[in-house]
A and B are shown apart, each in its own frame.
Chain A
Amino acid sequence: MAKLKVNQLKKSYGSLEVLKGIDLEVQEGEVVCLIGPSGSGKSTLLRCMNLLEEVNGGEVMIDHTLLTDKKVNINKVRENIGMVFQHFNLFPHLSVLDNITLSPIELKKNTKAEAKEIALKLLDRVGLADKANARPAQLSGGQKQRVAIARALAMNPDIMLFDEPTSALDPEMVGEVLAVIQQLATEGMTMVIVTHEMGFAREVANQVIFMDGGLVVEKGTPAEVFTNPTHPRTQDFLDKVL
């Protein structure tokens, strides 16, 4: 049984249909990279997976929970799905430590002391143990994104969603963030990653999904999609980015 399953998912903004019936499955421990041209609906799809966007049709299923069912407590579900944004979205009024401990404490997942201990361990893991008391404004882009990852991990999620985690970074900082994500992959975290880093996708992904115009055009292993794309639009896209 798939960890995450999307079934005929549809989403429109007014009269603009952005997702036109998406089907995909993510297995436990699998790393899925979503690629495709800008405006193809990648972010929208990702944001539907934790219902940050209202869905107009179809289903999103995580484990045995149907997210698109109105009776589901979405806050509870979201505790289990970490999300990392292109622009980090750290809370600027809180220290790095408080950014990480806010939700575990507020949601009574941990006591203050536990939350702090966990946060410090996570910071150590992303290489920022010395930044616990810094403010987000004092960090570089790469450091901010690593804190954002630690913040998401503090809720101990089963699934992590990444929306172009390195697109807003200066080139020299891309590596440090990808390294953290790669580490998560080797630890067996289930992840969906929207990315333009094709080399990274080829290396860490178990499955690559190419989207265009609100539809899944092609999916397969990195070797299948990158080396032998079957669809001309995939080929076209890869020619442009590689």
Chain B
Amino acid sequence: MRKFRQPLMIALMTLLLSFIAPFAQAATTDEKTYQIATDITFAPFEFQETNGEYVGIDIDLLNAIAEDQGFKVEIKPLGFNAAVQALESKQVDGVIAGMSITDERKNKFDFSDPYFDSGVVMAVKEGNDEIKEYKDLKGKKVAVKTGTEGASFATSIKDKYGFKIVTFDDSANMYDDVKTGNSTAVFDDYPVLAYGANQGNGLELVTEKESGGSYGFAVSKGQNPELIQQFNEGLSNLKESGEYDKILDTYLSAPKSDEDKGVIGLIKSSYPSLLKGLGMTLMLTVVSLIIASILGIVFGLCRVAKNKALNMLGSIYVDIFRGTPLIVQAFFFYFGVPAALDFRISAITAGLLTLSLNAGAYMAEIVRGGIESVDKGQMEAARSLGLPYKKAMAKVVLPQAITLMIPSFINQFIITLKDTSILSIIGINELTQSGKIIIARNLESFNMWLIVGLMYFIIIMILTKVSQRLERRIQNGKA
């Protein structure tokens, strides 16, 4: 038993720490630091520079206002939908994400004065001469991004002009859909499309700007009124000083980026972010698998226990976590539970919780299978010597079961490693998310997803080989 104790302690400590960490942070943080969620893929309002730093009109404005008004902000790039949900569930204090001020949103949020007047334009693939006005869209597909003004504008005219709408969560995917020809055109906010075309994203603008709404900074209704007030004051100060125009110019009249967009160039420019993402992916995998192993042994033992209540408990746990999609579990722990019980949880804690519980359910089945494939005579021989059930299990059955479990365990390791990519959806900066963020900047989705995919592949191959060697060594040792 002694061999098991140390990793067990470490795992428990990690589990504990990951729960305490967010609270500890909240306790020591200066009261004036606001957590502001933003999008990850909305250039020129927010995007990540090659060095990993977030920049853009929203980011620069917010930082300038914070400085002007003397408060601090912590910017959390979560993605637009996740940012809005995070604000609704009060996980963050505010959202600045190129968000249009609409009546519907005003029901839930309090908005600042508008800080940018937007408008919708239509763009098509560069060199497409067939589409010049809305009429030409008859029978075609049009790409829009969820919740944007482009989406509402397109919806409002789609019947009149007879086109279909395809909805995306992510600007990069939306542009790709047009570039690959799936969709004929895209409706998006003027500054975004103008910037993208300027950066050489392969699209060209074909219509004049439809005068549209304005972007505002939002807080939860009735929360942080002082923040809105400070934002408004800071904004008017910046407009007066000319800093506001300077920030806009920086992005809207940006020269074409001269980043090398070949695979090698992309690897060179993006490897620091990708490696960081990979580190997070591995951390999530290892920590959650350690916790999952403990859960798996506990609930796996419940599953083979004679006691009906324990047995039921094990089945319920396994059924719930195998019977629901991981992504729903992640949303539940990150948005659902904290909103219902009114507390905050960091994305990483929620992610670890989700992965651990999910993998734990599969581990429980692996443990049960392992135990059941140990010859019944082993338990009987141990019991006939006077060993109590628990000792017989721990000393005789489990050690043999674990050897039998190794191949399934390796398999689960690989599955969990791949599952971490789903946590990009709650804004955890793991490998997939790093890829998304880089693509938001350079719009090189084919090459970047190729690179990201290769990184997963290589890591999984290495782990598989190492594990196979380990497996062989353990089995040889046994014989």
A and B: partners?
yes
Interface residues of A (CB under 8 A from B): 50, 52, 75-76, 78-83, 85, 87, 89-93, 102-103, 106-107, 135, 137, 148, 151-152, 155
Asked, given contacts A93-B400, A107-B386, A155-B385, whether A87 binds B478 with beta carbons under 8 Å apart, the answer is no
Contact indicator per residue, chain B 96-111, by CB within 8 Å of chain A (1) or not (0): 0000000000000000
CB of A14, distance to nearest CB on chain B (Å): 17
A105 nearest CB neighbor, chain B only: B395
Which of B378, B384, B387, B478 is the most central at the interface, judged by chain A CB atoms within 10 Å of its CB? B384
Contact of B391 among A79, A87, A106, A137 (CB under 8 A): A106
Decide: A103 and B378 in contact? CB cutoff 8 A.
no
Give chain A residues whose Cβ lies under 8 Å from the Cβ of B388.
Answer: 75
Cα distance, A80 to B391, chains bound together (Å): 18
A-B contacts besides A75-B383, A81-B384, 6 pairs, CB < 8 Å: A85-B380, A89-B375, A102-B382, A107-B386, A137-B478, A152-B384
Decide: B377 and A79 in contact? CB cutoff 8 A.
no
Asked, given contacts A52-B383, A103-B385, A135-B478, whether A89 binds B400 with beta carbons under 8 Å apart, the answer is no
In the complex, which range does the number of interface residues on chain B fall in?
20 to 34
CB of B479, distance to nearest CB on chain A (Å): 5
Decide: B381 and A102 in contact? CB cutoff 8 A.
no
Decide: B384 and A135 in contact? CB cutoff 8 A.
no
Cα distance, A79 to B381, chains bound together (Å): 12
Give chain B residues whose Cβ lies under 8 Å from the Cβ of A91.
Answer: 378, 381-382, 396, 400
Decide: B479 and A135 in contact? CB cutoff 8 A.
yes
Give chain B residues whose Cβ lies under 8 Å from the Cβ of A92.
Answer: 400, 478
Majority-rule SS of B interface residues: helix
Asked, given contacts A89-B375, A91-B396, whether A106 binds B381 with beta carbons under 8 Å apart, the answer is no
Give chain A residues whose Cβ lies under 8 Å from the Cβ of B383.
Answer: 52, 75, 78
Asked if B403 is at the interface of the complex by the 8 Å CB criterion, the answer is yes
Decide: A85 and B377 in contact? CB cutoff 8 A.
yes
Query: Which B residues, 390 to 419, have Cβ-Cβ distances below 8 Å to chain A?
Result: 391, 395-396, 399-400, 403
CB of B396, distance to nearest CB on chain A (Å): 5
Decide: A79 and B399 in contact? CB cutoff 8 A.
no
CB of B387, distance to nearest CB on chain A (Å): 6
Give chain B residues whose Cβ lies under 8 Å from the Cβ of A76.
Answer: 386
Cα distance, A106 to B395, chains bound together (Å): 9
